[in-house]
């Protein structure tokens, strides 16, 4: 896929926003791929964590918000503790989700459409955690 590296796109507002919400300086990433190697959800992702970080460095925010990866992330923090550059990739993923939830105002999932049987058997913490990640 062609990547537009025009000045406006690379220096997009979202890039700074991710840094602020995720509270992490992802410009430090040098693409070692450690994060992706240990990610339990990588297999299900369309864009691997280290590639997502690279896209953000290049301001390719539209690619990120359309991606499945940010919603497949289970916030397990494995990537963050293993990053040799101290990037909090888990925080980075959260920031991407938050920007989508905040600006598009569309939830990733609708609580009332969940299966009733599932709702009856899930522990509370599964639902609370999920809704905090996927609804705005």
Partner 1 sequence: MSEKNLMQKIADSNKSVISGVDDLDIELWIKIYFLGREYRVPAGLTIMQALEYAGYFLTRSCGCRAGFCGACSTVYRIKGEYKLQFAMACQAEAMDGMYLVQLPFAPAEKRVYSLDHEEYSANTLLKYYPEIARCLSCNTCTKSCPQGIEVMDYINAALRGDYKQVAELSFDCIQCGLCAIRCPADIVHYNVAQLARRLYGKYGMPQVKNLNERATEIEEGVYQGEFDHLVALSNDELKKLYVEQQKNKEVY
Partner 2 sequence: MEISYYPGCSLKTSAINFERTALSTLEELGIYALELPRWNCCGVMFSQSADNLMLQLAPARVIMEARETGRKRLLTLCSMCYNTLKRSLLFFKRNGEKLKKINAFLKLEERDFSAEGVEVIHLLTLLSELDTSNFKMKIKKIKSNLKVASYYGCLLTRPREIALDGVENPQIMEKLLEIAGFQTVNYPFKTDCCASFQVVNRRNVVKKQIRKIVTSAVRNGAEIFALSCPLCEYNLDSVQQELAQEDETFTPIPVLYISQLLSLALGQDPKLNDFSLHRIDPRPLFKEKGLL
Footprint of ligand SF4 on this chain (CB under 6 A)? Answer: 29-35, 39-41, 49-50, 53, 73-79, 83-85, 87, 89-90, 93
| Helices and strands per DSSP (H, E), number in the chain | 10, 0
- Residue 68 or 132: the one with the smaller Cβ distance to partner 1 is 132
According to DSSP, residue 112 is labeled G
Contact between 74 and partner 2 (CB under 8 A)? yes
Residue 114 phi/psi, 5-degree rounding, is -70, 155
Question: If contact means CB under 5 to 8 A according to the sort of partner, which of partner 2, partner 1, ligand SF4, none does residue 135 touch?
Answer: partner 1
Buried/exposed 97-107: b ≥16 CB within 10 Å, e otherwise = bbbbbeeeeee
**Least separation in angstroms between CB 48 and partner 1:** 30
């Amino acid at each position: 896929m062609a990547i537009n590296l025009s000045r406006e796109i690379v220096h997009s507002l979202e890039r700074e926003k991710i840094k602020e919400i995720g509270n992490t300086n992802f410009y430090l990433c040098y693409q070692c791929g450690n994060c992706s190697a240990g990610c339990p959800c990588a297999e299900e992702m369309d864009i691997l964590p280290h590639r997502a970080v690279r896209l953000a460095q290049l301001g390719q925010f539209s690619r990120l918000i359309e991606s499945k990866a940010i919603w497949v992330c289970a916030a397990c923090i494995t990537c963050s503790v293993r990053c040799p550059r101290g990037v909090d990739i888990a925080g980075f993923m959260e920031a991407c989700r938050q920007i989508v939830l905040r600006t598009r105002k569309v939830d990733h999932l609708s609580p009332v459409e969940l299966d009733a049987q599932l709702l009856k058997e899930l522990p509370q913490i599964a639902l609370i955690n999920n809704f905090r990640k996927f609804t705005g």
